[in-house]
Amino acid sequence: MDALAVLAEPTRRRIVDVLRVRECTVSELVGSLGMSQPAVSKHLRVLREAGIVTAQVRAQQRVYRLEPGPFRELDAWLAPYRRMWTHHLAELERHLDRKEDG
């Protein structure tokens, strides 16, 4: 599963949104999300296997934090599409031309 598919899941996006602010333990995330602990753990596993988060063991707790790699990949994937709006004026002109045709 690539980063994009993993992050398509709303709950997982909520998780990374929380982790963006600060690293968290599983219990803290369970509190933030209002979901069962197993459900959260399963999402964390998916995020881990995608390399989006890493866990650090601290006593019986696991402290989860974000990893930049997958986000960079996502950014790289998005890059070629960025032309669409950086060349926006030219696109707009073409769009209007097209409308006059049709």
Partner DNA sequence: CCACTGCATGCCTTGACGGTTATATGCCTG
Partner DNA sequence: CAGGCATATAACCGTCAAGGCATGCAGTGG
Are 24 and 30 within 8 A, CB to CB?
Answer: no
- Quick one: DSSP state of residue 36? -
CB of 39 to DNA, least distance (A): 4
The single residue among 11, 13, 37, 49 that binds its own copies, judged by CB under 8 A, is: 13
* Nearest Cα residue to 48 out of 16, 88, 21: 16
Q: Is 45 a binder of its own copies (CB under 8 A)? A: no
Nearer residue to its own copies within complex by CB, 5 or 37? 5
Can you list the positions of beta strands (E) in 20-68? 24-25, 53-58, 61-66
Q: Which residues contact DNA by CB under 7 A?
A: 1, 9, 11-12, 25-27, 30, 35-39, 41-46, 55, 59-62
